[in-house]
């Protein structure tokens, strides 16, 4: 049985979803993949970083989070207020980085990912910022450190577009990628194509949880911008700066310059 010590930094929708899956899929991971995953540390911005060498109890973590109580209430843990310091002090085999996307400087995710890779920790990330702004240098660092940096969840979340292109279509020469890269936008555009009004459909999408309360990143195109930067870097090996991508504000229609 292969044993992996996992750290999750960013314990919101994605981080908690991953933790839930680890519980739900525990038997499948063990029986079909010979893999045992121990969640040794978790961090959010309000409560900081908690660590337990023997493994955190995921149902307790989820209950604490759902009740809005501090993660430090988990028994037998060590605590750091700062996730970076906690990770540096404790280590892991794999870091799942799931803090919020920020396209200005990609922090705090950039520091979490760089630190982990530098410490020889494999990284999987859903955070678009670091990969959008520095995919190639992060991949180079991962290569130097002989660890993996995986970013499938940054583009089209559960649909494996990056590995399909990089691995499944290895050897093919990709000349163009076209598509609607943002789920909220896709929902709204589909409804508008059926004659519905933009504002009405946005309100409906928010009520149903497809759109954020603040939909700016989705409907103004910033989310699609980040995904375009990631695809340009990892599919075409062409690192672009945000200002090299043109888009029409209002709904995410992007054209690479
Ligand atoms: N949700 C999706 O469907 C989806 C799909 C694909 C990609 N993504 C990307 O995945 C990432 C996470 O998304 P999400 O929906 O889970 O966001 P979220 O619910 O806002 O969670 C973000 C988490 O990061 C934590 N955090 C922020 N700064 C931190 C710091 N300095 N140290 C430690 N933790 C910190 C937050 O702490 P608090 O809880 O204390 O605020 C929160 O737990 C984002 O980059 C997003 O773009 C999301």
Left, alpha or beta for 211 (phi > 0: left; psi -120 to 50: alpha)? Answer: beta
Ligand 1 centroid – CA 193 distance (Å): 32
Per-residue pLDDT tens for 22-32? 999 999 999 99
Q: Is the pLDDT of residue 253 over 70?
A: no
Structure-token match 């207020």, residue found: 81
pLDDT at 180: 84
Q: Is the pLDDT of residue 250 over 60?
A: no
Ligand 1 centroid – CA 111 distance (Å): 15
Q: What six digits make up the tokens of 64?
A: 């604490």
Q: From CA 210, how far away is CA 220, in angstroms rounded?
A: 15
pLDDT at 257: 38
Listed residue (1, 68, 13, 79) closest to 42, CA to CA = 79
Q: What is the mean pLDDT of residues 167-182?
A: 90
pLDDT at 198: 92
Ligand 1 atom nearest to 44, measured from its CA: 34
SS3 71: helix
Query: Could you tell me the pLDDT band of residue 44, with boundaries at 50, 70 and 90?
Result: very high
Q: Is the pLDDT of residue 251 over 60?
A: no
Ligand 1 centroid – CA 11 distance (Å): 6
Picking from 17-31, 90-104, 229-243, which range would have the lowest pLDDT averaged per residue?
229-243
pLDDT at 132: 96
Average pLDDT, the chain: 93
Mutate to test the pocket of ligand 1, among 8, 9, 10 (most ligand atoms within 8 A of CB): 10
Q: What is the mean pLDDT of residues 100-113?
A: 96
Catalytic site includes residue 227: yes
| pTM score, whole prediction | 0.93
Q: What is the mean pLDDT of residues 117-121?
A: 98
Please name the residue whose Cα sits nearest to atom 5 of ligand 1.
157
pLDDT at 249: 63
Q: Is the pLDDT of residue 252 over 50?
A: no
Query: Could you tell me the pLDDT band of residue 256, with boundaries at 50, 70 and 90?
Result: very low
Per-residue pLDDT tens for 154-165? 998 778 999 999
């Amino acid at each position: 049985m292969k044993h992996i010590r996992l750290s999750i930094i960013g314990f919101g929708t994605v981080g908690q979803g991953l933790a839930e899956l680890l519980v739900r899929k525990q038997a499948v991971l063990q029986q079909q993949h010979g893999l045992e995953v121990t969640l040794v540390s978790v961090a959010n911005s309000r409560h900081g970083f908690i660590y337990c060498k023997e493994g955190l109890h995921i149902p307790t973590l989820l209950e604490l989070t759902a009740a809005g109580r501090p993660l430090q209430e988990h028994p037998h843990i060590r605590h750091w207020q700062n996730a970076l310091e906690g990770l540096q002090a404790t280590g892991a085999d794999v870091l799942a980085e799931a803090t919020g996307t920020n396209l200005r400087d990609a922090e705090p995710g950039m520091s979490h990912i760089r630190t982990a890779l530098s410490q020889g920790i494999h990284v999987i990330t859903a955070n678009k910022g670091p990969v959008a702004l520095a995919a190639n240098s992060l991949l180079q660092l991962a290569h130097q450190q002989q660890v993996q940096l995986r970013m499938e969840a940054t583009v089209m979340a559960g649909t494996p577009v990056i590995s399909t292109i990089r691995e499944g279509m290895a050897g093919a020469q990709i000349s163009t990628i076209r598509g609607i890269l943002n789920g909220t936008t896709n929902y709204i555009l589909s409804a508008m194509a059926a004659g519905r009004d933009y504002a009405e459909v946005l309100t409906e999408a928010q009520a149903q949880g497809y759109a954020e309360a603040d939909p700016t990143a989705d409907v103004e195109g910033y989310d699609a911008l980040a995904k375009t930067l990631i695809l340009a870097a990892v599919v075409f090996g062409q690192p672009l700066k945000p200002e090299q991508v043109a888009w029409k504000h209002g709904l995410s229609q992007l054209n690479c310059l």
